[in-house]
Chain A
Amino acid sequence: MMSKATKHLFFKEFSSYFKTPLGYVFLVIFLFGIGYLTFEPGRGSFFYMREASMASFFRYIPWMFLFLIPAVSMRLWSEERKSGTIELLLTMPVTVKEAVIAKFLASWAFLGVALAGTLPMIITVIYLGNPDLGVIVLGYIASFLMAGALLAVGGFFSALTKNQVISFILTVCTSFLLIMAGSPPILEFISAFSPRYFVDLFEALSVLNHFEAIERGVFSLSNLWFFGVMITCWLYGNIILVNENKAN
């Protein structure tokens, strides 16, 4: 249950995306980018596959998120600290935990709006054929959960530094590592000097593996659990960092 302070801060943060050009620039680049990648006339594109599914759309979502989510999350705490408004915010009757959750949920809801902007693609697919709507819905759930996990990573790095560029770069690097953790080249590299259980652990941390499992239509509790734990842990780190760094 959200406290009143969390709710008010959530609405203020959510509406702030539409008061600065950042929100609109993000939406335009995201919708144009994902539209182009889905329908571009290369291998594996929508038309090449000749099937009524959104597989090509979901294939590119992680890579769009890799660069665009850090752009949304980089300002979450860096800007508050740089402009000094953090002092204003945290002397109101609101706890750091509530503030972190409100800001995270607002950015997640904004990502939800961005994903909702791609709904015409579903209409296109339905118009052209007879797609499995269950798989499409699961694909969207997986995309939304992955967006939450990467936003939580971004919020953490945003609380680490006042500099938005550094926050952006650190989030991109960490997100890339988390997305690629299960890929064969990285696992091979790690297995060269690590024991087997460490390689398994690393593979289990792969955001992409869990995303693809849901996107393919396998919705298991372990995948949901993975994203839940991921978001909770990074948000917990975020709360600690805001407490530690607020005065600097």
Chain B
Amino acid sequence: MLEVNSISKKFDNFQAVKNVSFKAKQGEVLGFLGPNGAGKSTTMKMITGFLDSSGGDARICGHSISLEPLEAQRNLGYVPENAPLYEEMYVREFLEFVAKMREVKNEKIEERINQVIRMCSLEAVEFQKLETLSKGYKRRVSLAQALIHDPKVLILDEPTDGLDPNQKHDVRALIKKLARDKCILISTHILEEVEEVCDRCIIIGEGEKLFEGSPEELKSKSNKGRIQDVFRAITTGQKLQGVTL
């Protein structure tokens, strides 16, 4: 469903992403891990078609993002980092705008808006202006807009960043629920999130893929079962006591 083949990105002399490849299928939540500046967001932006890649390609439901961008984009929902929104709009109005842009049929728009409002628990704020919402609600509106057209592939760039523990729990519960019939790529640097929601994870550092496997495999590399030690050992290249790579 989501296939990334040797994707690379070069900004002038800086190689931000180097030949990253992976696949994810329906019903799978793939965690995308890495320290800040590792190239997670850049890779995601290339998969969504926002950035052109310098090499390689991504295919969404069989459509190449570089050759058939509009067709590929029709099949994906995207929550960008920091959840940017058109602040002057109202929640329902914004969702309606996204639904129209996402080519949801006119007779279905109302129904879809009501569904995503329920799914993302936005009932309390549905008639409010986006600029008046708290950070937690803004994240949920951003998630709602990504779901409005019921896409097959979801790309979530740090969807729980800055949320309180209760809100994090709600968003993770929603991701798990959605994962049944979608393919989800989620970037995060919260390691507990990986254990909780991801079936598989990829670690990248300095633009390169350093690890691919299940959270259990990652955990098993530490004799104390400390996933953060393994993450540090992989991304910094340091030898840590009790970690065997």
Contact = CB atoms under 8 A, between A and B. Distances in A.
Interface of A: 4-5, 8-9, 12, 16, 19-20, 83-85, 87-88, 90-95, 246-247
Contacts of B101: 5, 8-9, 92-94
Interface of B: 45, 48-51, 70, 73-74, 76, 78, 80-82, 84-89, 97-98, 100-103, 145
Given A93-B101, A95-B70, A85 B84 contact: yes
Nearest to B98: A92
A115 to B, nearest CB: 24
Contacts of A247: 45, 50-51
A8 B100 contact: yes
A9 B102 CA distance: 11
A20 B73 contact: no
B87 A83 contact: yes
A93 B45 contact: no
Given A91-B49, A93-B103, A20 B84 contact: no
Nearest to A92: B101
B56 to A, nearest CB: 17
Of listed A4, A85, A91, A246, residue having the most chain B CB within 10 A: A91
Contacts, number: 62
Nearest to A87: B80
A19 B45 contact: no
7 nearest interchain CB pairs? A84-B84, A87-B80, A8-B100, A91-B48, A93-B70, A92-B101, A85-B84
A19 B74 CA distance: 29
A217 B50 CA distance: 47
Contacts of A16: 86, 88-89
13 contacts: A4-B100, A8-B97, A8-B101, A12-B89, A83-B84, A83-B87, A87-B78, A88-B85, A90-B50, A92-B98, A93-B73, A93-B74, A247-B51
Given A8-B97, A9-B101, A91 B73 contact: yes
Contacts of A93: 70, 73-74, 101-103
B50 A87 contact: yes
Nearest to B70: A93
A84 B80 contact: yes
Given A93-B103, A247-B45, A88 B145 contact: yes
Contacts of A83: 84, 87
A20 B100 contact: no
B99 to A, nearest CB: 9
A90 B89 CA distance: 18
